[in-house]
Amino acid sequence: MYLASALLFLTSAFSSFVAALPSQLPLDAKLGHRVEDSKVNVSLYVMSRCRDARLCEDLFEDVFKTDDILQKVNLNMNYIGSINKAEPLGVSCKHGPLECLGNAHQLCAYHHLPLDQFWAFVQCQNFPSSYPKDIGDPSFDRQCIETIGEQWWESGVGECIEGKLQHNDTASSSFNGDGDREEESVGLGKEGRRLLRKNIRHTEGSGVTKSCTIEIESTLVSAGKRTCEVDAGVWRGCDDGHTAADLARVIEAEWQNLKSKENAEHAFRH
């Protein structure tokens, strides 16, 4: 009797554990994007061909160079656009179709690379003085992937961007139905299209429309987050300052607070 109820308990505990898994383990667990409770959630709302986004990303380049700040954040990239079924990619973007492609390409890198390498990729994309001329061009993506020491196909980024057909380079022999044919016609892999639509839908749901907007989730301020915006080069919000040192200080403080909460919970349990 005792054994039976113990087994029953174990079984139900296990199935609720399994049921809880999908929400607790985000999709990108294997890629170093695992959402860890003890890390500070930082969200950037950007557009790939927008100078203000580049300004924000330049700033974060300096933030991430500070000590080991990059290890202390979950970085969420939110691309701004609107769902539009009439468009070939299913979304429209402020700076045109090339920007939608650029957004998708960066999402492909985000999903297939560890965070530090994704960040190096974005820096490579933003680097040329001709910016944003090449954003959205797969051959430029490939150059950047190789510049940061990753491999185009092996990393998975190439197929996400260019699709299966390009990968095999033998279109006729590996032809795989309409999904693959569509990749060719829109110039973006199936995975890239899916990531783009999902991301844009999520951003639309958040209500944020300004590129660039920075949100730092907070357990220290009563609003629950700190918000900072740069529009046409002008900073707004940013109550804690908008230099790299300010942002690094805030992230460090939030991280310390999460750690001390975690330690307190740990002590309580034992």
Instruction: Calculate the alpha carbon distances from 238 to 180, 206, 223, 228, 235 in Å.
Output: 45, 19, 13, 4, 7
x-or-dash pattern for ligand NAG, window 107-136, by CB under 6 A?
------------------------------
Verify binding: residue 41, ligand NAG, rule CB under 6 A: yes
Asked if 173 is part of the footprint of ligand NAG (rule: CB under 6 A), the reply reads yes
Q: Is 37 in the site for ligand NAG (CB under 6 A)?
A: yes
Element (H, E) at 229: strand 225-231
Q: Measured from the CB atom, is 69 or 258 closer to ligand NAG?
A: 258
Applying CB under 6 A, which part among 60-68, 138-146, 166-174, 226-234 lies near ligand NAG?
Answer: 166-174
Q: Which stretch binds ligand NAG (CB under 6 A): 54-62, 112-120, 165-173, 237-245?
A: 165-173
By CB under 6 A, tell whether 168 contacts ligand NAG: yes
The answer to whether 251 touches 42, Cβ cutoff 8 Å, is: yes
Size of the site for ligand NAG (CB under 6 A): 12
- Please state, in angstroms and as integers, the Cα–Cα distance from residue 52 to each residue in 22, 213, 239, following that order: 35, 9, 19
Instruction: Specify the pairing of strand 82-83 against strand 91-92.
Output: antiparallel
Using the rule CB under 6 A, give the single segment among 79-87, 162-170, 221-229, 234-242 that binds ligand NAG.
162-170
Rounded CA-CA distance 123/58 in Å is 8
Measured N-to-C along each axis, helices 138-147 and 115-126 cross at an angle, to the nearest 10 degrees, of 120
User: Do residues 188 and 101 touch, judged by C-beta distance below 8 A?
Assistant: yes
- Indicate whether 265 belongs to the interface with ligand NAG (CB under 6 A): no
157 close to 145: Cβ distance less than 8 angstroms? yes
Indicate which single residue of 217, 231, 240, 246 sits in contact with ligand NAG (rule: CB under 6 A).
217
Closer residue to ligand NAG (CB): 40 or 212: 40
- Chain residues in the site for ligand NAG (CB under 6 A): 35, 37, 41, 74, 159, 164, 167-168, 173-174, 217, 258
